[in-house]
Amino acid sequence: MSEVKSTAEQLTKVYLKIKDKRSELSAAFKEEDGKLTEQMDKVKKALLEYCKEQGVDSVKTSAGLFYRSAKTRYWTSDWSNMHEFVLEHEAPELLDKRLNQTNMKQFLEENPDLVPKGLNVDSEYVVSVRRK
């Protein structure tokens, strides 16, 4: 076996060993973090209940301050109508400013002469490693 092949084989082994260790650590972290998140959620629920029972929005204790606030989320179940609404009312600010990577790539492949002004493209080589 040539020295280059030997080096490539060794690098692959090292990469996979590191990847395995990271997966192991990540799984352990996710498990422990999940338990802690669950505990915190129970405490948050109790604090929200306390605020409701006491008729208050914030409480200052010697350990710290907690407060409740309303969190409102918006979403649509009908993107076609939402898109029409945005166009009709000239309200593009209702949407996040980001491109769908897969759809943009496909559009450019199918329409190589149609490139939007201001479009930035960054390509780089990446290495993927799989087990034998």
In degrees and rounded to multiples of 5, residue 67 shows phi and psi of -150, 155
- What residue ranges in the chain does DSSP mark as E strands? 58-60, 65-67
pLDDT averaged over the chain?
94
pLDDT interval class at 132 (50, 70, 90): confident
Cβ pair 72, 62 in contact under 8 A: no
Q: What is the pLDDT of residue 1?
A: 53
Mean pLDDT on 118-122: 94
Q: What is the pLDDT of residue 44?
A: 96
Here the tokens at position 36 are 């802690």
pLDDT interval class at 80 (50, 70, 90): very high
pLDDT interval class at 129 (50, 70, 90): confident
Interatomic CA distance for residues 79 and 130, integer angstroms = 38
